[in-house]
């Protein structure tokens, strides 16, 4: 056995001043994170905005609870999906993964959308 394990992901539903979802991938010792206002696309070809946010600690992958009023991200956080993923491409402009979650599975692509701002990406569900 090599000791290499499949990285994990989580999709948090974040009920806050501006309700949204947070997609987080375990990558290089942190959770790389995006706020996805309308949630992950469910059909091939659907595109959604994903906004890059600060990395989170790995142990946040299992977090559910309430973030106190007045603080960063105040509101309720619930896990909507979790599982593992296969990284196919991980670059500064394009990330391709295959999700193995209980709700979301299949190939997803994140593409940097610089015209809309430095932290903005488009996430889409790929046909293949």
- The tens place of each residue's pLDDT in the chain, 128 residues long, gives 455 678 999 999 999 888 999 999 999 999 999 999 999 999 998 999 999 999 999 999 999 998 888 777 788 999 999 999 999 999 999 999 999 999 999 999 999 987 767 899 999 999 86
Query: In which domain, by residue range, is 56 found?
Result: 8-125
Would you say residue 21 lies in a domain? yes
> Contact at 8 Å (CB) between 125 and 45?
yes
**Structural domains counted in the chain:** 1
Would you say residue 86 lies in a domain? yes
Cα dihedral sign, 118-28-57-35: positive
Would you say residue 25 lies in a domain? yes
pTM recorded for the entire structure: 0.91
CA distance 8 to 52: 18
CA distance 23 to 33: 6
User: Phi and psi for 127 in degrees, rounded to 5?
Assistant: -70, -30
Would you say residue 82 lies in a domain? yes
Would you say residue 18 lies in a domain? yes
Would you say residue 2 lies in a domain? no
Would you say residue 3 lies in a domain? no
């Amino acid at each position: 056995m090599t000791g290499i394990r499949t990285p994990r992901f989580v999709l948090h539903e974040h009920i806050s001043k501006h309700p949204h979802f947070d997609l987080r991938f375990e990558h290089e010792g942190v959770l790389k994170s995006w706020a996805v206002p309308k949630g992950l696309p469910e059909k091939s070809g659907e595109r959604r905005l994903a906004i890059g946010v600060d990395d989170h600690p790995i142990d946040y992958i299992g977090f559910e609870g309430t973030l106190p009023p007045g603080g960063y991200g105040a509101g309720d956080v619930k896990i909507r999906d979790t599982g593992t993923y296969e990284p196919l491409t991980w670059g500064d402009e394009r990330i391709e993964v295959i999700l193995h979650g209980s709700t979301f599975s299949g190939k997803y692509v994140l593409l940097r959308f610089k015209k809309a701002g430095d932290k903005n990406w488009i996430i889409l569900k790929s046909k293949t």
